[in-house]
Amino acid sequence: MSDPTPRSQELRIPSLARVEGETALHLRIDHGTVIEARLKIYEPPRFFEAFLRGRAHTEPPDLTSRICGICPVAYQMSACRAIEDACGVVVDGQLAALRRLLYCGEWIESQTLHIHMLHAPDFLGEDDVIGLSRSHLEHVKRGLRLKQAGNAVVELLGGRAIHPVNVRIGGFHRAPTRAELRPLEERLRTALDDAWDTVRWVAGFEFPDAECDADLLALAEEGTYAIESGVPTVLPYDEMLPPYSFPLRDFTDHVAEEQVSHSTALHSRLDGRRHLTGSLARWAVSGYLLSPLALEAAREAGLGDPLSRAGAGRAEVCRNPYRSILVRAVEVLYAVEEALRIITEYERPARPYVEVPARAGIGHGATEAPRGLLYHRYAFDDGGRVTDARIVPPTAQNQGAIEEDLRRLVQAGLDRGEGSEAELTRLCERAVRNHDPCISCSAHFLELDIERTH
Amino acid sequence: MSTPTTPQPPVRPRLGVFKFASCDGCQLTLLDCEDELLGIAAELEIAHFLEASSEPAPGPYDLVLVEGSVSTPEHVERIRRIRADARHLVTIGACATAGGVQALRNYADVDGYLATVYARPEYIETLATSTPVSAHVPVDFELRGCPIDRGQLVEVITAFLAGRKPAIPNHSVCFACKRRGNVCVTVAHGTPCLGPVTHAGCGALCPTYGRGCYGCFGPAGTTNLPALVPLMQRDGMSEEDIGRFLHTFNVTAFTAVEEQGQPGVTDAEGPG
Ligand code: SF4
Ligand code: SF4
């Protein structure tokens, strides 16, 4: 190896906030041992938590949706739940069902986007979806169709797929009639077939061995696969430690964020340990609550049978980040089925929303964004003005686990003799895309920065 | 390093998509053109689009779409380099054309903001302002919206391919409401609505869903802000509410309208 000039370890990154954004990676390798793998998130600071202060209690859903155009519904739903919690209001019945329907739409389109456009090309040796459409046109077309079905749900209920306008605290500005929802049914039936085919397709991919040793954190909800509500539940990596839950209001006591110099995203630890949220965590925590159809798909895909372990307090666990694409595909199938179920059972509520009168207080809200648990907390004064806002996105929580994952993969790569920059870049890009941290950081890693000492 | 250049296929116009401070929603609109996507990919060479492709190619580009606002010292440099590489440069969305929601900081003390969000603000480099691309380099066309509208985006790309000016009308959301046959939410229900002063493009979404427009497309070509203010006051909004209403999703754009000598709303304190 040539003698690289040692590079400064402290990189100054012109950059930003606690949102999912652009990323680079810095590796420190000493005598063939990876000392450190650091993800540099350089999305510039956008200060949402700061400028939410002084806003009316009706404003956070529309405002915070602008944190992420990939999962705006997740931001709107977590914000609504937190505000309603502060105001002592519970949204249930058909309004809650409509929220779940909207969220299913986002799951379908966002997970499908990730599967087909970002993740699958890695398994099939293509650079991107354009290349994939040359070699696997039918699969890409199916993906676009499936994504469109998800978008159609969000567009019908929300007005548009990105930053929907119809959501408000207490419910919706306007609730659809049954007749308006009907055209979605046919689309979703086709989508159900497409989702099955997607599961079968990705099940045929080749999955390298890997294991993520982080604790898994997801919401759990009695009787249903948690999406738009639930209680934070942890499956520790150490099997000797029992699974446990904690009240949402204690979230920041358990998930503590710390700022690190190399990234504008804050790092967080769960009870002092590394943790992972997202599809793998959801599947581990609530897999046994999936529908029979989704479970069948999961078994066929080789994910195992969580029902067989349901009584043991631990569901079937998949810790291989490469296989997250399988769980995502199963979740898409489930979301399509859920959407169909909700539409079939839908009765238009008398009013599209319940009143959420402002009052002083603190409220907590968490939902399962496609990428993982998204937590919001707001404090309000007597006039219902925001005095404090706290948002903990999934990417910030996952960053530590992703870095550890990268460290191991690079080490394994080096041990196999794959030490060139190109080889390592490819390896790391794949590893990051496995976790779907966000579309922009998963689609590329512009910069790999390697510091070697010999 | 990618592999050597091979024989060139027929020359297609080269598209570059670049991101600054933003939520990715406007770029995603391009991926949401499912029906048109493969067609667009056939007509244009997608040379740089990090959200979709892992093989970015260097410029020059025939058409560059820019998402996001300029908010760090590095951004200022980068937008100049991109402009130098772009035959046509189009900004997409409220961030790139008006600074976006993150321009709310322009009215605040950024050091205070940093301290609110980060325990160790000294690690963070940022500008005190979030500005539109046009504040830094010449822009050939500005496409509005937060996010932009899919149909308008396809029109801009098509117009570019055909070598003509995009047919994006400058009128207000009210026109779209009339076309859709909506009942006016302000007249019928006393709901405050920025539709009369907001640029069309969304198809009057909010009024169709029974809420007032909150201005996510920014100001229309000609607006009569002073005439709208008393209406919003009549519907129960305070001066401060109106200030926040106008200055959230297109913070700087409505300010510019006001500064062209139209009284009525003052923004001394800024939003919030
Ligand atoms: S204009 Fe709106 S949708 Fe577009 S990038 Fe900015 S925040 Fe996102
Ligand atoms: S009606 Fe106004 S706020 Fe609503 S989508 Fe259209 S431009 Fe945006």
pLDDT, average across residues A355-362 = 97
CA end-to-end span of chain A: 9
Cβ(A362)–Cβ(A34) under 8 Å? Answer: no
Contact B72 A67 (CB under 8 A): no
Q: Which has the minimum average pLDDT: A177-191, A288-302, B46-60, B78-92? A: B46-60
What integer pLDDT is reported at residue B17 of this predicted model?
A: 92
**A306 band by pLDDT with thresholds 50, 70 and 90:** confident
- Those residues whose C-beta lies under 8 Å from the C-beta of residue A86, and which sit 6 or more positions away, are A57, A359, A361, A362, A363, A378, A379, A380
For residue B245, pLDDT over 70 is answered with yes
Q: What is the pLDDT of residues B128-187, one digit of tens each?
A: 678 899 999 999 999 999 999 999 999 999 898 888 999 998 999 999 999 999 999 998
Which residue type is seen at B174?
A: C
Q: Which has the minimum average pLDDT: A304-308, A363-367, B213-217? A: A304-308
pLDDT, average across residues A113-124 = 87
Residue with more model confidence, A325 or A313: A325
**B272 band by pLDDT with thresholds 50, 70 and 90:** very low
Q: Which has the minimum average pLDDT: A146-160, A177-191, B7-21, B225-239? A: B7-21
Q: HEC profile for chain B? A: CCCCCCCCCCCCCEEEEEECECCCHHHHHHHCCHHHHHHHHHHCEEEEECCCECCCCCCCEEEEEEECEECCHHHHHHHHHHHHHEEEEEEECHHHHHCCHHHHHHHCCHHHHHHHHCCCHHHCECCCCCECHHHCCCCCEEECECCECHHHHHHHHHHHHHCCCCCCCCCEHHHHHHHHCCCCHHHHHCCCCCHHHEECCCCCHHHHCCCCCCCCCCECCCCCHHHHHHHHHHCCCCHHHHHHHHCCCCHHHHHHHHHCCCCCCCCCCCCC
Residue with more model confidence, A263 or B231: B231
Quote the CA–CA distance of A197 and A202 in Å, as a whole number. 9
Quote the CA–CA distance of B139 and B80 in Å, as a whole number. 11
For residue B65, pLDDT over 60 is answered with yes
Site to probe by mutation for ligand 2, drawn from B29, B148, B173, B185 as the one with most ligand atoms within 8 Å of Cβ, is B173
Quote the CA–CA distance of B270 and A23 in Å, as a whole number. 32
- Beta bridge partners of residue B64, listed in sequence order: B16, B89
Q: Which has the minimum average pLDDT: A36-50, A158-172, A366-380? A: A36-50
- Beta bridge partners of residue A385, listed in sequence order: A56
Region of residue B93 (left: phi > 0; alpha: psi -120 to 50; beta: else): left
What integer pLDDT is reported at residue A408 of this predicted model?
A: 86
A388 → chain B, closest CA residue: B116
Nearest Cα residue to B43 out of B12, B15, B65: B12
Tell me the pLDDT of chain A averaged across its residues.
Answer: 85
Quote the CA–CA distance of B220 and A283 in Å, as a whole number. 48
Q: What is the pLDDT of residues B70-81, one digit of tens each?
A: 988 888 999 999
The DSSP output letter for A445 is -
What integer pLDDT is reported at residue A411 of this predicted model?
A: 87
**A445 band by pLDDT with thresholds 50, 70 and 90:** very low
- C-alpha dihedral (A123, A127, A128, A130), degrees to nearest 10: -120
Which ligand 2 atom minimizes the distance to the CA of B200?
Answer: 7
Q: Which has the minimum average pLDDT: A26-30, A241-245, B146-150, B198-202? A: A26-30
What integer pLDDT is reported at residue B266 of this predicted model?
A: 30
- Burial label for A66, CB within 10 Å (0-12, 13-18, 19+), is buried
Candidates A18, A47, A147; nearest CB to B105: A47
Quote the CA–CA distance of B141 and B148 in Å, as a whole number. 13
The answer to whether the bond into B147 is cis (omega within 30° of 0) is: yes
pLDDT, average across residues B41-67 = 83
What integer pLDDT is reported at residue B103 of this predicted model?
A: 83
Q: What is the pLDDT of residues B81-115, one digit of tens each?
A: 999 999 999 999 999 999 888 888 777 665 665 56
**B32 band by pLDDT with thresholds 50, 70 and 90:** confident
Which ligand 1 atom minimizes the distance to the CA of B100?
Answer: 6
What integer pLDDT is reported at residue A28 of this predicted model?
A: 82
For residue A113, the SS3 value is helix
Q: Which of residues 26-85 of A touch B (CB under 8 A)?
A: 43-51, 53-56, 59, 62-63, 66-70, 72
Q: Would an 8 Å CB–CB cutoff place B201 in contact with chain A?
A: no
For residue A93, pLDDT over 80 is answered with yes
Quote the CA–CA distance of B61 and B17 in Å, as a whole number. 10
What integer pLDDT is reported at residue A45 of this predicted model?
A: 60
Q: How many angstroms separate the Cα of A164 from the Cα of each of A183, B22, B70?
A: 19, 17, 25
What integer pLDDT is reported at residue B127 of this predicted model?
A: 65
For residue A447, pLDDT over 70 is answered with no
Contact A128 B52 (CB under 8 A): yes
pLDDT, average across residues A4-13 = 28
Q: Which of residues 105-124 of B touch A (CB under 8 A)?
A: 105, 108, 110, 112-114, 116-120, 123-124
Contact B53 A49 (CB under 8 A): no
A10 → chain B, closest CA residue: B123
What integer pLDDT is reported at residue A7 of this predicted model?
A: 32
Tell me the pLDDT of chain B averaged across its residues.
Answer: 82
Ligand nearest to the Cα of A162, by number: 1
Contact B31 A113 (CB under 8 A): yes
Residue B67 has phi, psi (to 5 degrees) of -110, 140
Q: Which of residues 247-266 of A touch B (CB under 8 A)?
A: 258-259, 261, 264, 266
Range ranked top by mean pLDDT from A254-263, A347-356, A387-396, B4-13: A347-356
Q: Which has the minimum average pLDDT: A279-293, B21-35, B130-144? A: B21-35
Q: How many helices (DSSP H) and strands (DSSP E) are in chain A? A: 15, 14
pLDDT, average across residues A335-344 = 98
For residue B3, pLDDT over 60 is answered with no
Q: Which of residues 100-119 of A touch B (CB under 8 A)?
A: 113, 117
> B interface mutation test: which of A55, A66, A425, A446 has the most B CBs within 10 A?
A66
Cβ(A165)–Cβ(A159) under 8 Å? Answer: yes
What integer pLDDT is reported at residue A341 of this predicted model?
A: 98
pLDDT, average across residues A16-20 = 23
- Percent of chain A residues past pLDDT 70, beyond the cut: 85
What integer pLDDT is reported at residue B102 of this predicted model?
A: 83
Query: Which strands, in side-by-side order, build the sheet including B86-92?
Result: B45-49, B14-19, B61-67, B86-92, B141-143
